[in-house]
Amino acid sequence: AEHQHTRYNPLRDDWVLVSAHRVKRPWQGQLEKPPPEDVPRWDPNNPLCPGATRATGEVNPQYEGTFVFPNDFPALQPDAPEPDDSDHPLFQAAAARGVCKVMCFHPWSDLTLPLMSLAEIRAVIDKWAELATELGASYSWVQIFENKGAMMGCSNPHPHCQVWASSFLPNEARLEDRTQRQHLSQHGVPMLLEYAEQEAHRKERLVVENEDWLVVVPFWATWPYQTLLLPRRHVCRLQDLSEGERDNLASIMKRLLIKYDNLFEVSFPYSMGWHGAPMGPCLEEDCKHWQLHAHYYPPLLRSATVRKFMVGYEMLAQAQRDLTPEQAAERLRSLPEVHYKQKTK
């Protein structure tokens, strides 16, 4: 906590510089604008709302739960042509095909996951698993991710996520596939299953836990209040979760996200996403080195208006953080599990 040091991230095979004393330095840099507190529940000009017209001219149904539709501006399309052959090894290109979908969590724009009921969150989880199964039948990788808040590039104040399925393994998936495969080969146990057991025993980076899940600020965390959501059982893919595990996942997600919001009493921005074993042709392969997990990457550092910037040294050398993971975990762990908006006045 007092002296800078580096920590190894076995999942990414890289290192992070921990410099906890730097959080004390004065700040005269950019201040972020807190998210608006007066988001209307329904807005006819919001293209994610029930009954609204999207950019394509298509009108959304009057949905009452989750709602999934093709992304109107997809980064991946299923019928992209093959690129031309390369005439030099330094100029390589490869085919990239896929589909992109948008999934609304709820019809109300003024709700976020921590303010939704457990039943509503469970419906989101079931839809995630359904999409993973559906798209994973054809595509190697299905990336479910949520960008929450304008600070993380979210362009629409409505509870939603995106699902991109690709014919190839993206860089992060390829890297995690290699490191987890190596760990199982060398140690005889899936890396993140062993890691979860260690963190459950040590408890110093534990944020919340229940019978089936635990959330930690990982030993190698890069972002200030980064967390890792892990199942206790060895499970490779989201769709493999039992009914009880899905119920407990809804519960632990709500608890974590309430703590996030309570940290600075603001709708806490983050990017999150699920990582699990590849699908498509890999469904017939041995993927027991994989362990399902979710990453949460929030940018806020000191307050609702001061974020961590990944620039300079981070871009040109290696990641650096301004407080220890243990300090971050203790702060999150000590927060109440009643949302600040729902406290009795």
Q: How far is CA 195 from CA 13, 75, 205, 214, 241, in A?
A: 15, 34, 12, 11, 19
Which tens digit of pLDDT belongs to each residue from 64-89?
A: 999 999 999 999 999 989 999 999 99
* Residue 153: predicted pLDDT: 76
Q: Which active-site residues does the annotation give?
A: 160
Question: Over pLDDT 70: what percentage of the chain?
Answer: 96
Sequence-separated (6 or more) residues with CB below 8 Å from residue 332 = 207, 217, 225, 227, 259, 260, 263
Which tens digit of pLDDT belongs to each residue from 274-333?
A: 999 999 999 999 999 999 999 999 999 888 878 888 899 999 999 999 899 999 999 999
Detail the residues annotated as belonging to a binding site for Fe cation.
176, 275, 293, 295
Instruction: Judge whether residue 54 has pLDDT over 70.
Output: yes
Per the structure block, which two tokens stand in for 128?
């995630």
For the purposes of burial, counting CB atoms within 10 Å of the CB of 9, is it exposed (0-12), middle (13-18) or buried (19 or more)? Answer: middle
* Residue 26: predicted pLDDT: 58
- Domains of the chain with CATH codes: 40-81+92-339 (3.30.428.10)
* Residue 268: predicted pLDDT: 92
Detail the residues annotated as belonging to a binding site.
22-25, 55, 71-72, 147, 153-155, 162, 176, 275, 293, 295, 308-309, 313-314, 320
Which tens digit of pLDDT belongs to each residue from 174-233?
A: 999 999 999 999 999 999 999 999 999 999 999 999 999 999 999 999 999 999 999 999
* Residue 22: predicted pLDDT: 67
**Summary mean pLDDT of the chain:** 93
Detail the residues annotated as belonging to a binding site for UDP-alpha-D-glucose.
22-25, 55, 71-72, 147, 153-155, 162, 308-309, 313-314, 320
Question: Over pLDDT 90: what percentage of the chain?
Answer: 84
